[in-house]
Amino acid sequence: MSIAAARQQEFNAAKLAKRLRRQVGQAIADFQMIEDGDRIMVCLSGGKDSYTLLQLLRQLQAKAPVAFELHAVHLDQKQPGYDAQTLPRYLESIGMPYTVLEQDTYSVVKRVVPEGRTMCSLCSRLRRGNLYDHAATQGYTKIALGHHRDDIVETLFLNLFYQAKLKAMPPKLRSDDGRNVVIRPLAYCREDDIADYAQRQNFPIMPCNLCGSQENLQRKAIKAMLTDWEHRFPGRVENVFRAIGDVSPSQLADRNLFDFASLGGRGTARTVASDWLRGEPAGAETETVAG
């Protein structure tokens, strides 16, 4: 490689790292993800996203206007071929405090899910339950997950196409049981950028041998659709993501989000609606037949 080519690579790598840090910082600021004194549990799966999340948070931690702690937590799910040394060796090399939880969710998933069916849903629920329990018992104030912009958009279409629900994956949320606050600092980051960054950093990626090998996932079909869109119409995925943050309830049809019944202001809308449900003309009187 020539000197000029090497310098160009260094420039591109620095530019990419700067863009990702800026996007993570912007997401943290927009959704007030991190506060002074936070103890943040960073969930580390061993994939490109969580490695990138951890490294960017560590870099921002050094310059952040508030003080917060980071602790990496990994769940050993006892999958075949799992290398128990890869993550500890990496985390120790960078001086990162960590905890490895052990829970044989693999056997549970294999026992419960019929052969040929996708395992991701049950696997993720079991993994999430273990991690959430650990965060609550250890007193962590936030749980950081490595989901990125493309994950969020894919989830939107998964819910739309397969569940008839208009919802995605929020950058910040409180868990259903109310015990934990979950943050997704990579919410503004593109998956392609993260993959490029992870490759340049030479992270020791750990492949998933349980669900990662299944080719019939609905998410993969959605990912292929979005990849095709982005190839033919550059910027479309970004527009979809921006739309998630610019919702007009009055232009949809969810009666829980917008009071359509009160439109008109005459106070008779609900009475008329109940008449329609009974199949009667609005305001019709019920005739009594003498016996």
The pTM for the full model equals: 0.85
What pLDDT sits at residue 215? 45
Domains detected in the chain? 3-215 (3.40.50.620)
What pLDDT sits at residue 201? 95
Q: Which helix (H) or strand (E) holds 100?
A: strand 98-102
What pLDDT sits at residue 84? 83
Read off the tokens for 64.
């952040």
Handedness of CA 5, 7, 13, 16 (dihedral sign): negative
263-283 pLDDT, tens digit per residue, is 876 655 555 556 667 766 655
The alpha helices in the chain, defined as continuous H runs, are 3-30, 48-61, 86-93, 105-112, 120-138, 149-163, 191-201, 218-232, 236-244, 269-278
Other C-beta atoms lying within 10 Å of the C-beta of residue 194 = 24
- Cβ atoms of 73 and 43 within 8 Å: the answer is yes
**Residue 183, strand partner residues:** 144, 172
Segment 97-105 shows an average pLDDT of 85
What pLDDT sits at residue 228? 96
121-145 pLDDT, tens digit per residue, is 666 777 777 888 899 999 999 999 9
What pLDDT sits at residue 280? 63
Distance in angstroms (rounded) separating the CA atoms of residues 214 and 271: 53
Distance in angstroms (rounded) separating the CA atoms of residues 28 and 65: 12
The share of the chain scoring above pLDDT 90, in percent, equals 62
What pLDDT sits at residue 285? 52
**Residue 115, strand partner residues:** none
How would you classify residue 224: left for phi > 0, otherwise alpha for psi between -120 and 50, otherwise beta? Answer: alpha
189-232 pLDDT, tens digit per residue, is 999 999 999 999 999 998 765 554 444 478 889 999 999 999 99
Lookup result for tokens 């951890």? 54
33-72 pLDDT, tens digit per residue, is 999 999 999 999 899 999 999 999 999 999 999 999 999 9
